[in-house]
Structure 1
Amino acid sequence: MSSSAQYLNPSEAARRLGVSAKALRLYEQRGLVAPVRTAAGWRAYGPEEMARAAEIAALRALGLSLAQTARVLGGDPQGLEPALAAHQASLEDRARQLAGAVEKVRGLRTDLAQGKTPAAADLARLAGPAGEISVAFDLPWPWGGERFELRDIRPINYIIGSLGSGKTRLAMRLAETLPDAAFLPLERTADSARLAADPALKARVDATLAWLAEDGATASDALVALLVALEAEGPAILVVDMVEQGLDEPTQEALIAHLRRRGPGARPLFLMTRSCAILDLAAVGPDEAIILCPANHAPPTRVAPYPGAPGYEAVATCLASPDVRARTEGLIAWRPPAA
């Protein structure tokens, strides 16, 4: 290892690349990048390894699976066309949103030049994304009817809480209150009849399954049932009960990577979860939000994904690895009767 070059440990390398340390480990496991080893045997990333990892992260951001990324890095462009087409569509969507915002500003400046003072609400809306979705309602039991408001709904919104925290009731109320929303319950099976009747839907599901498989996912009825709901033309917002249900760890990791690549203009999703493979706190991006249902039945609150933020430790203690979640699946809190 050259003493003149700067070498970074995995956590620092991941921070500079804007990915999680888990993602770096996955790149290494797939043979896409090979960190050097220090004299003590620790992984380290020098300039060459960082450049390679940056290329991988950029290709992943374009929507390529790990297998497609490997092919592109090897000189094979297979898979680039659909990825570039999807990225173009995302950019065009952002451009439309920006054009709408520019038009609003132009209108407010015109009003101001004519002596009309813009309303504070109109000015405040300029800070939010175009078409911002918000919701407000009185909280159901086990809360006491407190008012709950959620603004700036992101493409991915995690709902998390301990057993008995009320997260399922919150999710169901969100599905009832949000316009054109649907609730996907825990009991779900692959609808083969629906796929047979809708070739376009089947094609989308099959394409997504292929992408997930290349990222290490295992095909199953639970995964297909989830993808049918995610890929179907229908509700503008989907609320999913325990998204990790029936999925192993590699499948969960592949699924959340797929959902993240949809971009900022994607259909909003509310994902109930207690899996750290789905909600990796180190990987939460700007298009994601965390909603915590506290164990003491205080009103649900949005939690920032960094240590020291209010509620962060409570969120972290609710999460477990998929193998732990599988062992405790179906358990309920129980207290022995008083003597």
Structure 2
Amino acid sequence: MSSSAPCFNASEAASQLGVSIKALRLYEQQGLVTPGRTAAGYRVYGPNEMDRAGEIVALRALGLSLAQVARVLDGDPQSLATALAAHETALNNELQDLVQKLDRIRRVRSDLARGQMPVDGELTRLIDRTGISVEFALPWPWGGEHFEVRDIRPLNYIIGSLGSGKTRLALRLAETLPDAVFLGLDRLQDKGVAALDLLKADATLKSRVDRAVEWLVDEGATESEALTILLVAFEADGPAALVVDMVEQDLDGVTQEALITFLRLRASAGVRPFFLMTRSSAILDLAAIGPDEAIILCPANHSAPVRVAPYPGAPGYEAVATCLATPEVRARIARQPETTAGEATINTPQTHAPRDS
């Protein structure tokens, strides 16, 4: 390697590639890219490693699993051909959408040239809306406060401490959003027999779920009933929005990471919005939040839920980070300072709100 060739440390390489350091480490663990090392043992990415990593990032953006990326880089054309076909279809759909918008603009301009102003609603249809909105009166424990979420993203995380009201917020969202469905923890009852019955009755759905399972297993996920139940809900036709209670339930950490990667790829394709209740840092990785994602925090003091920007220093960020911490860390944060000898301890009655996950 030429001494004048640009080299990057892991942080710089991740920034150049538009991915997280965690993603780069994952590529390395999977044997997809092997960075060099400095004399002190730090990772360093030269031109060859950056080119290789850039190809990996591009293939991931096309929706390939890590195993499929490895096969393409090894010279197998089939996975790449399939991904490119899907990408071509998505681009064609975008093109058709743009053509329709151009047609609407041309019609309005033609009418204006004849002295005819747009009719009611015609200008509204020219706007390229970026998302849907919802508003409603908050349930207990908020006591009817007005709540509104504008520009709902494809991936929305609902987070809060125990007793914060996040379950009630999720239920109200499912009630208010048009054609939305709430997927509660009862999905795991009877080993998910309801979801499995859907698979037996719908061959098309089963095919989609099987493909999703294959992709996730390639990512290192462990196939399980809990995962299959979620995929049935994510892949099923019908609901315009899906609200999921504690999406990480009964999934190991690697499976959670694979699942959220899968959902991010779906989000980039503009599918229906998902609202995911979570307290898992594998699901809600603050360093990996993208433009298609949003965080809704239910504060512990029962002030109104708020959208939190995913960067340190933003209002609510530390509260979100605390919710995502391990139980040991949360306990340490919540622990009251020990009283010194001779200090009086005042015991005050405690009120207990109904249990909320």
Coarse TM-score class (shorter-chain normalised): 0.7 to 0.9
Deviation at 1:108, TM superposition (A): 5.1
1:93 aligns with 2:93: yes
Deviation at 1:99, TM superposition (A): 3.2
**Match for residue 339 of structure 2?**
none
Unaligned runs of 5+ in 1: 329-335
Query: How do 1:177-216 residues align onto structure 2 when only pairs under 5 Å count?
Result: 177-189=176-188, 190-191=192-193, 192-216=196-220
Contact in 1 for aligned 2:104/2:126 (Cα 8 Å): no
Contact in 2 for aligned 1:264/1:287 (Cα 8 Å): no
| CA deviation string 1:255-292 (max 9, x = no partner) | 11111112242121111111111111222122112212
Unaligned runs of 5+ in 2: 331-346, 351-357
User: SS of the residue aligned with 1:187?
Assistant: helix
Amino acid at match of 2:186: E
User: SS of the residue aligned with 1:165?
Assistant: coil
For 1:90 and 1:325, how far apart are their aligned partners in 2? 42
Change (3 A) 1:218 1:294: same
Amino acid at match of 2:217: A
**Match for residue 229 of structure 2?**
225
Instruction: State which drifts further: 148-157 or 99-108.
Output: 99-108
Provide the identity percentage.
Answer: 65
**TM-score of the superposed pair, with normalisation by structure 1:** 0.88
**Match for residue 292 of structure 1?**
297
CA RMSD of aligned residues (A): 2.7
Contact in 2 for aligned 1:292/1:300 (Cα 8 Å): yes
Deviation at 1:10, TM superposition (A): 1.3
Change (3 A) 1:304 1:117: farther
**Match for residue 50 of structure 2?**
50
1:306 aligns with 2:311: yes
Instruction: State which drifts further: 22-31 or 4-13.
Output: 4-13
Contact in 1 for aligned 2:17/2:54 (Cα 8 Å): yes
User: SS of the residue aligned with 2:77?
Assistant: coil
Contact in 2 for aligned 1:155/1:264 (Cα 8 Å): no
| CA deviation string 1:79-105 (max 9, x = no partner) | 223322322232233223333443444
User: SS of the residue aligned with 1:188?
Assistant: helix
Change (3 A) 1:173 1:193: same
**TM-score of the superposed pair, with normalisation by structure 2:** 0.83
Change (3 A) 1:252 1:125: farther
For 1:104 and 1:303, how far apart are their aligned partners in 2? 36
User: SS of the residue aligned with 1:136?
Assistant: strand
Instruction: State which drifts further: 152-161 or 174-183.
Output: 152-161
Contact in 1 for aligned 2:158/2:278 (Cα 8 Å): yes
For 2:128 and 2:241, how far apart are their aligned partners in 1? 23
Q: Aligned to 1:276, which of 277, 281, 286?
A: 281
1:157 aligns with 2:162: no
Amino acid at match of 1:22: K
User: SS of the residue aligned with 2:41?
Assistant: coil
User: SS of the residue aligned with 1:79?
Assistant: helix
Amino acid at match of 2:248: E
For 1:293 and 1:120, how far apart are their aligned partners in 2? 36
For 2:99 and 2:321, how far apart are their aligned partners in 1? 39
Amino acid at match of 1:128: R
Change (3 A) 1:310 1:93: farther
For 2:319 and 2:308, how far apart are their aligned partners in 1? 10
Deviation at 1:316, TM superposition (A): 1.9
| CA deviation string 1:140-178 (max 9, x = no partner) | 111121111112222111111222221111111110011
- How many residue pairs are counted as aligned between the two chains? 328
Instruction: State which drifts further: 37-46 or 113-122.
Output: 113-122
For 2:281 and 2:314, how far apart are their aligned partners in 1? 18
